A and B are shown apart, each in its own frame.
Chain A
């Protein structure tokens, strides 16, 4: 009996030991300041009156620099060069021939220099540079804002075209090398001082959907241009193995108004990205969708770059036949568990209410929210910097 107790004790001790070890791992971190921020969804559409306000703050008492990458995920027509979502957008009126809608991935990088504890904000369509910078040092006034540092060197470009769909990554970096700051011994001095929010605004209705940027905390950065995200030699905390989206089925009647129809958009960003070679290895996202009866349906989708789609078009071009449709789901709410195969994912969701969920022009409100995350295996992802 005593032996059995000892076995149980060892098992318990081992269990608590593993609990302690597991405390080291973490998922994309909306909870704390971090060294790498991911704004999963930046939208600008001048025609529809949509723009995105971005907010980046330095929580440190010292000046900090962030090396940022806008990723333009627009698809373009092979014949007209215009922005498209399907080949139907690619009709060349001169020749009456449809072109192909080819997915694109264009990266634009820039630097942001922040003074101590400084917040910086800008509108994606406008950018921020020159005289608009709050703290511009001159020869006669090297400390324009009184404290340490200045914003000189900051050139946030406006997004390159409209409509625009893309993401933004900002990596806390060394101002000289433009590479991530290496951690000190034991990871005690890793640079994790950035927080951020984004607010997607419909300018005509003034409605706003705000979400916190996902953060990956630096845990053992060596200062080179290959950032290992998760895995055995992780320099940053891992991306999620499973993203959990609690959602309202597309077409479901909003319980509050009793009239409006709900629709959701899901945005997914692969964690592995090669900014040096300008490539993104594809990731397959597997979806397990549960309704309120715990009935399960599934689908999968290839994620080439940034994936942004109404949820009822993830698995079909006919929304009413989708497993994310209220007509198929049969309940108002559902849970989707999204697993990235061959790589981790980050993302966010946007819930909209409209008179007709298939018609954006009838939208009366929207809200953004972060996805829940589960880290199970901590597969390594890599971000390669130029």
Chain B
């Protein structure tokens, strides 16, 4: 039987644990690419013939951490999104980091060549997979309830292009399967981002990468940017794909020439090339505000930018993936529904 003093001690201890768990929580109402969180979203996971993805997830706490993860295939076949979801669970010991390849997953086999403690049976994605990965921290392995402990960080390497997983910190997380990204239960997702890019040239030509054209004479170098977009709503319970309409407004170049470009609706997952009349600007560098809308109002989404450079003389190419700056205060409520 616990005594009153014991209850007090327990309360103080609980408070201490709560304080420790929230220490370092940045701007608890917003997403983050830099702090441990309770939900991780990897917007871009690819397993195609010539590209693969390394996933790395880390437990930042000195206690065990568990996560329920969902691969979502965003491929479109004959104009119809597949929206195929594959879920699995992982368990991480204190401060443990773990990794797997999208193409092979990670079986539980201590005798195999994979180093480190196996976090659980991670399935491989099937060939041609282009989509996203969402991991929700839970309080116990196998069908655990959602947890707001904010212990997870992640990084993805898409064939040599790295980006940080986008984190959604938990705030006041309850145990049901409806995860409200509303600034109360979990942080909200952004509905607008600042995108810095190297602009496309006039008449559809791709702009010269300035360094390549001015540097060592790689005369026909080209540079282009694309945007990988995932709506910040995931209905894993009913397998209903989420939608968000993407628009670029304003698009501004260095001469302050301003344009805009609508893209249309993104269903589930999309890689958007920055082309079209709105991106035919007069200077090399540009910036754009990327807005997500739905039913006339702001809609939440997450995104990463992909930069491709190709050298004309060398024939070499390089690709980089970077996280974006969000427009501060431009947030919208999303929801994740677990099975």
Chain A interfacial positions (CB closer than 8 Å to B): 3-4, 7-8, 10-11, 14-16, 18-20, 22-23, 25-33, 49, 51, 53, 55, 57, 59, 115-121, 123, 125-126, 134-135, 145-147, 192, 195-197, 199, 201-212, 215, 241-242, 244, 246, 255-256, 290-294, 296, 330-335, 337, 351, 353, 365-376
Question: Which of B10-18, B135-143, B231-239, B267-275 lies on the face that meets chain A?
Answer: B10-18
Tell whether A18 pairs with B18 under 8 Å between CB atoms, given A135-B254, A373-B34.
yes
Please name all residues of chain A whose beta carbon is closer than 8 Å to the beta carbon of B94 when the two chains form the complex: 294
- Asked whether B256 lies within 8 Å of A116 as measured between CB atoms, the reply is yes
**Contacting residue for B286 out of A28, A119, A192, CB 8 A:** A119
Cα A59 to Cα B95 with chains together (Å): 38
Please name all residues of chain A whose beta carbon is closer than 8 Å to the beta carbon of B11 when the two chains form the complex: 7-8, 10-11
Asked if B176 is at the interface (CB within 8 A of a chain A CB), the reply is: no
Asked if B191 is at the interface (CB within 8 A of a chain A CB), the reply is: no
CB distance from A52 to the nearest CB of B (A): 8
Please name all residues of chain B whose beta carbon is closer than 8 Å to the beta carbon of A4 when the two chains form the complex: 4, 7
Cα A117 to Cα B171 with chains together (Å): 34
Please name all residues of chain B whose beta carbon is closer than 8 Å to the beta carbon of A353 when the two chains form the complex: 160
Tell whether A135 pairs with B15 under 8 Å between CB atoms, given A365-B160, A369-B162.
no
Tell whether A22 pairs with B22 under 8 Å between CB atoms, given A206-B311, A207-B316.
yes
Asked if B261 is at the interface (CB within 8 A of a chain A CB), the reply is: no
**Contacting residue for A30 out of B253, B289, B325, CB 8 A:** B325
Cα A115 to Cα B254 with chains together (Å): 9
Asked if B228 is at the interface (CB within 8 A of a chain A CB), the reply is: no
**Contacting residue for A119 out of B60, B254, B321, CB 8 A:** B254
Asked if B101 is at the interface (CB within 8 A of a chain A CB), the reply is: yes
- Asked whether B24 lies within 8 Å of A53 as measured between CB atoms, the reply is no
Asked if B260 is at the interface (CB within 8 A of a chain A CB), the reply is: no
Tell whether A246 pairs with B54 under 8 Å between CB atoms, given A30-B34, A117-B250.
no
- Asked whether B99 lies within 8 Å of A292 as measured between CB atoms, the reply is yes
Cα A271 to Cα B328 with chains together (Å): 23
Chain B interfacial positions (CB closer than 8 Å to A): 4, 7-8, 11-12, 14-15, 18-19, 22-36, 52-54, 56, 58, 60, 93-99, 101, 115-117, 153-155, 157, 159-164, 171-172, 194, 196, 198, 209-212, 214-216, 218, 221, 250, 252-258, 283-287, 289, 307, 309-311, 314, 316-328
Please name all residues of chain A whose beta carbon is closer than 8 Å to the beta carbon of B14 when the two chains form the complex: 11, 15
Cα A332 to Cα B12 with chains together (Å): 40
6 A–B contacts, CB within 8 A, in A order: A32-B328, A145-B256, A210-B320, A256-B101, A292-B99, A332-B99
- Asked whether A195 lies within 8 Å of B196 as measured between CB atoms, the reply is yes
- Asked whether A332 lies within 8 Å of B115 as measured between CB atoms, the reply is yes
Please name all residues of chain B whose beta carbon is closer than 8 Å to the beta carbon of A332 when the two chains form the complex: 99, 115-116
**Contacting residue for B52 out of A117, A202, A256, CB 8 A:** A256
Tell whether A292 pairs with B159 under 8 Å between CB atoms, given A22-B22, A244-B60.
no
Cα A333 to Cα B286 with chains together (Å): 36
**Contacting residue for B35 out of A202, A367, A373, CB 8 A:** A373
- Asked whether A197 lies within 8 Å of B26 as measured between CB atoms, the reply is no
Cα A166 to Cα B32 with chains together (Å): 27
- Asked whether B212 lies within 8 Å of A206 as measured between CB atoms, the reply is yes
Please name all residues of chain B whose beta carbon is closer than 8 Å to the beta carbon of A147 when the two chains form the complex: 256
- Asked whether A121 lies within 8 Å of B284 as measured between CB atoms, the reply is yes
- Asked whether A27 lies within 8 Å of B26 as measured between CB atoms, the reply is yes
Please name all residues of chain B whose beta carbon is closer than 8 Å to the beta carbon of A120 when the two chains form the complex: 254, 285
Please name all residues of chain B whose beta carbon is closer than 8 Å to the beta carbon of A33 when the two chains form the complex: 194, 325, 327-328
- Asked whether A203 lies within 8 Å of B216 as measured between CB atoms, the reply is yes
